[in-house]
Amino acid sequence: MSKPDSVDLSAFSVPGTSRGILDVFGYRYLLRLLVRKGILTRYHGSVLGWAWSYVKPTAQFFIYWLVMGVFLGLNRGIESFPIYLFSGIVVVNLFNEAFGNATKSIVNNKALVKKIYLPRELFPIADVFIAFVHFLPQLTILLAVCLIAGWVPTLVQLAGALLAILIVLLIATGLGLFFGSINVSYRDSQNVVELILMFATYTSPVLYSSSMVQDKLPPWLYDLYMLNPLTSAVELFHSAFWYPTTSETTARPEHLWLLAGISIIVALVMLVVGQFVFRRLEGRFAQDL
Amino acid sequence: MPKISELEPPRIIIEGVQKTYTLRHTHSFKETFVAWLKRKKTSTSFEALKGIDFSVGESEAVALLGYNGSGKSTLLKLVSGVLRPDKGRILTRGRVAGLIEVGAGFHPDLSGRENVYLNAAILGMSKDEIEARFDDIVEFSEIGEFIDTEVKHYSSGMFVRLAFSVAIHTELDILLVDEVLAVGDAPFREKCKKKIRELVAAGKTLFIVSHDLGMVADICSRGIVIRRGEMMFDGPVDEAITTLKGITR
């Protein structure tokens, strides 16, 4: 491009360009306020307020426990089944919440996206953080129940739990950027996401154990099943919370750390792909909303 | 076209900017299929801007004039970065703050105070800057004791005053204004005009879109007339207004 004469362009910038996720770190303060807004307004106008964050997972746990554990009798094969169940449910809930909200975040922030330029990645990322804050009450219930059951974890197991949270947040961000940017032009995207979220609970060993899958599926399909990042996150949580409360005689899935490592790589790849697609579609956001 | 001083580089450079909107007429497979059967077009394109060139210097107050559908708001959105040009380029120097439909970032369930912090941050201010200016913002808005009330209980005038007050107090070099001065009561509008003149006097660049010709003539020195995406006139604001009155939509 030709330069206008006698004008030094070094101090100029092109409006509406950003470095994507990297720029979000430059907007840390705004990110914090957006997360705060999400937290403050979540239960606005409800009398119980944040108590709902305790009521909902407890009710959800109870129904699964009753149907899966008591009626279908899955608890006979798995020691301290309620804790097994709940430690898996919280992971899937975190994923569903983060991914589901991130997908709708650009559309939900329509007014801002159309009028003021900000790195748009801020919105899905803020939603992932909000989902994480929402996850903390559930984690608190889990911890309380585990402590009552005589839970003494090792440091390695706890590190595994943190790794699991990281995996879930990364894949939710990557997928959220991907489906969220498509959702601007094609609202089919959020329906596809709802479908994925519906499957998420069942394609990971939340309601049953992975050894049951191993017994039924051919080895290659079982390997594929175990490669699901959500599966390794759920199993890491099982290792950290459920396993120490049992007699520790149940066989754990093999190569769990290797699977976790692969999951991190998969999650990072998803993040890069999500960011790439997001950037490609970002230019049309303001006119398509 | 006014020459820009060689010493002071311009604040905004607009070079051969074109913007075309593609309007989709069908929104589902079914509609596309029906349109295909009836041999109707599924989309049409609309040229909002057909090659605009100009630059705006420091402490210049420029009014962008034109009738509805002339492309002036599109141009403002391109400068703010919300939209991107299809051809040509836009360059800006310094911090750009937009008074484009104020209150876009306001959340009705949050208090005035929370909203001030949120919106100032959206407009690019840091925590320290907001804290330093918080009292000025509240004072200018004349909200007073209601600052801790939820915004949904505000009257529309209070809402606009607070939103405007936040925007006008942001640290900026270029201020983009789109039809927001038409709100608020007469005393508040006077106050806003005064504040804007202060900003221009302090070397800030003002880029304003408005149908309120009286106010434009009052604040701006330079006027650019756009008609159907093409630039018709660039020069002193009085002549620009005369030009505008002489053309049709």
For B101-151, the pLDDT digits (tens) are 667 778 888 899 999 999 888 888 889 999 999 999 999 988 888 999 998
| pLDDT at B81 > cutoff 80 | yes
Give which of A9, A115, A185, A187 to mutate to test B binding, by max B Cβ within 10 Å. A115
Residues of B in contact with A28 (CB under 8 A): none
- Put simply, the answer to whether B118 touches A37 (Cβ < 8 Å) is yes
| pLDDT at B1 > cutoff 50 | no
The minimal CB distance from B89 to the residues A1, A27, A33 is found for: A1
Q: What residue in B sits closest to A108 (Cα-Cα)?
A: B105
Q: Residue B102: what pLDDT? A: 66
To the nearest whole percent, how much of chain B has pLDDT over 70?
93
Q: What residue in B sits closest to A109 (Cα-Cα)?
A: B105
Taking the Cβ of residue B122 and every Cβ of chain A, the question of whether any pair is shorter than 8 Å is answered with: yes
Q: Residue B100: what pLDDT? A: 65
ipTM of the complex: 0.85
CA distance A268 to A171: 8
- Put simply, the answer to whether B117 touches A287 (Cβ < 8 Å) is no
End-to-end CA gap in chain A? 31
Q: Residue B37: what pLDDT? A: 86
Beta strand pairing call for B87-93 and A12-13: antiparallel
Would you tell me which CATH number, out of the four given (3.40.640.10, 3.40.50.300, 3.40.50.150, 3.40.50.2300), belongs to the domain B9-94+173-249? 3.40.50.300
Q: What residue in B sits closest to A15 (Cα-Cα)?
A: B81
Taking the Cβ of residue B11 and every Cβ of chain A, the question of whether any pair is shorter than 8 Å is answered with: no
CA distance B232 to B170: 33
The per-residue pLDDT for range A194-225, each reduced to its tens digit, is 999 999 989 999 988 888 888 899 999 999 99
The per-residue pLDDT for range A23-67, each reduced to its tens digit, is 888 889 999 999 999 998 888 888 888 888 888 888 988 888 888
- Put simply, the answer to whether B107 touches A45 (Cβ < 8 Å) is no
Nearest chain A Cα distance for residue B119, angstroms: 9
Sequence-distant (≥ 6) Cβ neighbours of residue A222 within 8 angstroms? A213, A214
End-to-end CA gap in chain B? 23
Kindly indicate the confidence band of residue B217, based on its pLDDT and cuts at 50, 70 and 90.
confident
Task: Single out the residue of A112, A99, A126 nearest to residue A199, CA to CA.
Answer: A99
Taking the Cβ of residue A283 and every Cβ of chain B, the question of whether any pair is shorter than 8 Å is answered with: yes
How wide is the angle at C-alpha B152 spanned by C-alphas B148 and B155, nearest 5°? 90
CA dihedral A262, A267, A272, A273 (to 10 degrees): 100
Token digits of residue B114: 């929370």
Nearest chain B Cα distance for residue A107, angstroms: 14
Give which of A1, A8, A9, A12 to mutate to test B binding, by max B Cβ within 10 Å. A12
Token digits of residue B127: 């925590």
Task: Single out the residue of B120, B130, B159 nearest to residue B142, CA to CA.
Answer: B159
Per domain, the residue ranges of chain B are 9-94+173-249, 104-170
Nearest chain A Cα distance for residue B38, angstroms: 24
Kindly indicate the confidence band of residue B180, based on its pLDDT and cuts at 50, 70 and 90.
low
Average pLDDT, integer, range A178-190: 92
Strand order in the sheet with B222-227: B96-100, B174-178, B205-209, B61-65, B222-227, B230-236
CA atoms within 13 A on the CB side of A49: 4
Give which of B84, B102, B113, B171 to mutate to test A binding, by max A Cβ within 10 Å. B84
Q: Residue A2: what pLDDT? A: 42
Residues of B in contact with A7 (CB under 8 A): 9-10, 13
Q: How many residue contacts between A and B have a Cβ separation below 8 Å?
A: 94
Beta strand pairing call for B205-209 and B61-65: parallel
Nearest chain A Cα distance for residue B207, angstroms: 15
Q: What residue in A sits closest to B90 (Cα-Cα)?
A: A14
User: Could you give phi then psi for residue B23, rounded to 5 degrees?
Assistant: -100, 115
